[in-house]
Chains A and B, each alone.
Chain A
Amino acid sequence: MKEQTPSTQNRRAPSSTIQITLEINGAAHTLEIEPRVSLLDALREHLHLTGTKKGCNQGACGACTVLCNGDRILSCLTLAIQYEGMEITTIEGLGTAGELHPLQVEFMEQDGFQCGYCTPGQICSAVGMIREFRNGLPSAVTKDVSARPVELSEEEISERMSGNLCRCGAYLGIRTAIRTAFQSEVIP
């Protein structure tokens, strides 16, 4: 390893951690972290909530999608410190092994995955997407943005879920799972 020159050492700011409290899946977690720790790394490395996945770590794949106050966010592009005082929901908070979320049930029923790596992000994203749709938020393919879209069409689902990539290509099953769960009207 190359020896550091004194000037290089002087340039380094001292490592400083701060104490923050995050509310995740209804429970408060206090952790000592540096400000540069992403929400994704705080979840996975510090709190060991490994349901949220790290795909690209640059906001392109959607695998790290979690919900913040009900809105879907990319946890890899955010600092954990930004989320103090907000309600974070991860895949662990949506359903349990004994009591699955309706979307989890449909992803299994409709073969909405192959390897499953993108699935937690897909499901969190779909929960946020359905909330946006119900709130009347238009998408890029909504024909009349002044009118509330009445139908969550295949095209609407494709567009609204376009931030979540699936390298296995299980998109047909993913869309079917989301449409079926949405139509069953059991999603909270």
Chain B
Amino acid sequence: MREFTYSRAVTLQEALTRIAPLANGKFLGGGTNLIDLMRENIERPGYRDRRYPPVVRNQ
């Protein structure tokens, strides 16, 4: 599994604030099917694929 950073948010607002500046942030919560997909490199949160330029968000 590729490396990533992890952050725990307690409120909805906090979650949205934290994920906003990230190019490829993902939510991990109850019922999400993310970690098994990350293990197979299907999902790659926090990883910028060299085929695609990093997403730049307008502030």
Contacts and interface: CB of A to CB of B under 8 A. Distances in A.
B39 A82 contact: no
Contact of B3 (A15, A38, A57, A79): A15
Given A58-B39, A78-B35, A35 B4 contact: yes
A34 B28 contact: no
A interface residue count range (under 10 / 10 to 19 / 20 to 34 / 35 or more): 10 to 19
Top 7 closest pairs, chain A to chain B, by CB:
A35-B6, A36-B1, A13-B3, A58-B36, A77-B35, A81-B6, A59-B36
Summarize A's interface: helix, strand, loop or mixed: loop
Interface in A8-25: 11-13, 15-16, 18
Contact of A36 (B3, B48, B50): B3
A7 interface: yes
Interface string B1-42: 111111010000000000000000000100000011011000
